[in-house]
Amino acid sequence: MNCFSQSLCASFSKLEETLQVADTRCLRAREVDLIGAYSLGGIGTFAMIRDHPDLFAAGLVLCGAWNPAQAAQFPTDVPILALRGEKDNLLDARPMIIALQKADRPAIYREYPGINHNVWDYAYPDPAIWDWLFSQQRKR
């Protein structure tokens, strides 16, 4: 697994194990459609879409990031909506979203003016975000 750090790789490995157990016991892939999280979870959202594209209809990344050199490894049928505060100096999804778009992957970037890393405080109450997310359908 190609991760940002060893600790992140360890977390993803545990998540992979959880998915395997869930799939064999109670949760089937057809029941998982949407993934989204903020900050480190936004990084994880990118990773899960790349590594398990068959599970998701769409992804919501709030103040996350990923290596743009890996854009071609992402699926062509799982759109990603990345949200970021203009003043966020921790994580920046713009380079990844630009790379995804250049690689003909469905990706949208939205920036909140004057907002820091806490973009979730502004995104979660926004009905347009939820309308977009729940309008996505898995194509696999």
Q: Please report the pLDDT score of residue 22 as a whole number.
A: 47
Q: Tell me the chain's radius of gyration from C-alpha atoms.
A: 15
Q: Please report the pLDDT score of residue 61 as a whole number.
A: 93
Q: Please report the pLDDT score of residue 16 as a whole number.
A: 62
Q: Which two tokens stand for residue 10?
A: 């360890």
Tokens 């979660």 correspond to 124
Residue 113 reports pLDDT greater than 90: yes
Query: Buried b / exposed e across 23-62, counting CB within 10 Å, b at 16+?
Result: eeeeeeeeebeebbbbbbbbbbbbbbbbbbbebbbbbbbb
The average confidence (pLDDT) of the chain is 82
Over residues 8-33, the pLDDT tens digits come to: 455 455 556 655 544 544 444 445 57
- Level-2 CATH architecture, domain 31-135: 3-Layer(aba) Sandwich (3.40)
The domain ranges of the chain are: 31-135
Q: Please report the pLDDT score of residue 86 as a whole number.
A: 95
pLDDT band at 103 (very low <50, low <70, confident <90, very high): very high
Region 59-65 average pLDDT = 92
Q: Which two tokens stand for residue 54?
A: 């068959």
Over residues 43-53, the pLDDT tens digits come to: 889 999 999 88
Cα–Cα distance measured from residue 24 to residue 1, given in angstroms and rounded to the nearest whole number: 22
